[in-house]
Amino acid sequence: MVYCGKPSKGCGECRSRKIRCDQAQPACSQCTRAKRDCPGYRDQLALMFRDESKSVVRKAVAASTHKNKQERSRRTANPERKPVRSELGLAVEQDFDFNSDPQHVFLMRQLGNYPLEVQPSYELDATKYEAVCYFLRSNAIPSNFWSSEFISNFLLQSGGPASQRAMKASVVATATAMLSRVRGLPSLNNIARREYGSALRLLNAALADIEEAKTNQTLGAVILLAIYEVITSRTRESIDSWTNHIEGATALLDLRGTDQLKTSAGLRLFLYLRYQITISCLQRDARVPESLLQGTGIAMFLSTAEAHGNRLVMIIGKLSNLRADIHTNTCKSEREIISAASAIEADLIAWLAALPPEFNYTTHVSSPFDLAIQKQFRGISPYDDQYHVYTTPWVCSSWNHYRSARIIVSEIILSHVRKLSESSSLASLSEELRVQCRTLRSTIRRLAVEICRSVPFHFNVHLVTKESDIPPPESYIGGLVLLWHLFVAGVVESPQHRLRRWVVKCLEMIGKTMGVDLALAVADIVSADPGVLHHVTEEEDTDGSVQCT
């Protein structure tokens, strides 16, 4: 399923004449006044999404066929290759011939030769079950996303409506893709691609029914497929695939309206997804959908525990909208942009001042020779040998959303003050403004360091103790939620700066040891970026007489 943008709601006649349509029922007023037959209105939901299932299946089959030819050639040269075992104990044939496997034939019949309405259901086989168990146990997404009903109804049972089967297929696709990378089992890639194609087909079937499209299962399936793209996307261009799914989920939020907030599961889905949407909007210089901001306003009264998160989302929404206005030249005056950005900065400072005690965190110093911490942190030492400990991962994530937003808004102020200084005489800039620039540069650097010091917490470094030989549990949620914040922190300094090198090392570690391919693409982007403060020298940071840059 690919989101194709918000289509025009006008009737066919008004669209062809390129005039505004009032969308009256049963015929629009323009057609009525002109005594024309109104052709009616299109199905908005169907237009928002394009069915890419056949394309995905075709690519999966082509990749499988090519791989099978290579495997048969190797098998001829070395016919006695033995199976290898994953760490969880299930045998996986390294040179597995999918074309001769009944399960492969069964899955391909599901994808290609059966009508959707008569597709046979199937239980999880051992390999898929292993992958799903691994996926759930390693906290690949926040635990409050799941429920016992989800595990029992969506994973262990077969059949059900298209939305439920799409949810199941998307879980298996994402789980097998992650296990394939972490355990080095390329044979699972074929299963992941087929399940991904199946999930897309089932999603399009669910979207054909407006009531099915509004279900939590449909939205959950889209979210999981977005995570699949994060796991499997290695190139810069493939980041667009994640964006497409997030935009598709945004369209579903629009369709679901405020009713989605009336249930606990619907509210959890909304709260999880809104940060993904705001990050996507910030990346694309796009406006945050008004429906998301309205839903967040309502959520303030429904979930008091999320009150601070709700307020932060509203501020980040303002920031993204400002970036969109700058991008489209809606805001043209440098002073107007600086004023709007300064107001957002003030909102962020006020948010920070109102935080309750449970948002407090502590800073710890580790020895550079502490091998236990390095092992838990996948061979990396904490930046400057310091790391933070927070009360919960959610608190840590909230802090990083604040830090990233503060860095971005500070960069907007600095860049437009620089443009203002280029169009004015240096004397016209007040001393107060020059001092503000130095303060902003110092703030950006401090926040980038704080993001780096928060990273070990997501890898449970704080749970390492000298008294126990048992390592803390793995948590892959950190690798997923940190990508955006590491990017923001990483592009602050110049490419030669040690903070930049540390961030790139972290991203490469997430990509290579946690199976999150998108981290490798982000590492490439960070490595090539000139840096927000690349033009600033140490002298300029300390000398108020130097031009503000």
Q: In this predicted model, what pLDDT tens digit does every residue of 372-387 receive, in sequence order?
A: 888 888 889 999 999 9
CA 256, CA 266: separation in Å to the nearest integer? 10
pLDDT of residue 400: 96
What pLDDT shows up at residue 83?
Answer: 29
pLDDT recorded at residue 154:
53
Local confidence band at 359 (pLDDT 50, 70, 90 cut-offs)? very high
Nearest to 287 by CA among 322, 248, 254, 251: 322
What is the pLDDT, as a whole number, of residue 270? 86
Question: How far is it, in rounded angstroms, from Cα 31 to Cα 410?
Answer: 51
> 5: which 2 tokens?
């943008």
Element (H, E) at 490: helix 477-490
Band (pLDDT 50/70/90 cuts) for residue 58 is low
Contacts of 82-87 with C-beta under 8 Å, sequence gap 24+, read: 86/130, 86/179, 86/183, 86/185, 87/183
Question: What pLDDT is stored for residue 87 in this prediction?
Answer: 27
Please report, rounded to a whole number, the percentage of residues in the chain having pLDDT higher than 90: 29
Q: How far apart are CA 197 and CA 510, in angstroms?
A: 26
Structure tokens at 230: 């994060």
pLDDT at residue 539 greater than cutoff 60: no
Q: Which residues pair with 247 in a beta bridge?
A: none
What integer best gives the mean pLDDT of the chain?
A: 76
The answer to whether residue 42 scores a pLDDT higher than 60 is yes
Distance CA 479, CA 15 (A): 45
Residue 88 has pLDDT above 60, yes or no: no
> Residue 80 pLDDT > 50, yes or no?
no
Number of Cβ atoms within 10 Å of the Cβ of 371: 9
Amino acid identity of residue 132, one-letter, is: V
Q: What pLDDT, on a 0 to 100 scale, did the predictor assign at position 467?
A: 54
Matching residue, tokens 């298996």: 172
Give per-residue pLDDT as tens, 458-505.
Answer: 888 888 865 555 555 556 666 778 999 999 999 999 999 999 999 999
Strand partners, 365: 386
What are the structure tokens assigned to 385, written together? 């040998």
Q: Please determine, for residue 360, whether its predicted confidence score (pLDDT) is greater than 60.
A: yes
pLDDT at 322: 96
388: helix, coil or strand?
strand
In sequence order, what are the residues at sequence separation of 6 or more whose Cβ sits closer than 8 angstroms to the Cβ of residue 397? 275, 481
Using an 8 Å Cβ cutoff, are 181 and 515 in contact?
yes
The predicted-structure confidence for 193-205, as pLDDT tens digits, reads as follows 999 999 999 999 9
Amino acid in the structure at residue 142 = P
Residue 294 contacts by C-beta under 8 Å, 6 or more apart in sequence? 258
pLDDT value of position 472: 58
How, if at all, do strands 362-365 and 91-92 pair?
A: unpaired
Residue 93, pLDDT score? 28
Q: Is the pLDDT at 537 greater than 80, yes or no?
A: no
* Three-point CA angle 345, 350, 355, nearest 5°: 130
Q: 13-16: long-range contacts at Cβ-Cβ below 8 A with a sequence spacing of 24 or more? A: 13/38, 13/39
CB-side neighbour CA atoms (13 Å) of 153? 12
Higher pLDDT, 153 or 105: 153
Query: pLDDT tens digits, residue range 269-327?
Result: 888 888 889 999 999 999 999 888 888 888 777 666 678 888 999 999 999 999 999 99
User: What is the average pLDDT across 404-428?
Assistant: 83
The reported pTM is 0.73
* Sign of the alpha-carbon dihedral angle for 509, 512, 517, 521: positive
15 vs 546, higher pLDDT: 15
pLDDT, one tens digit per residue, over 94-151 is 333 333 433 333 333 333 332 333 333 344 677 787 787 777 766 555 554 555 455 5
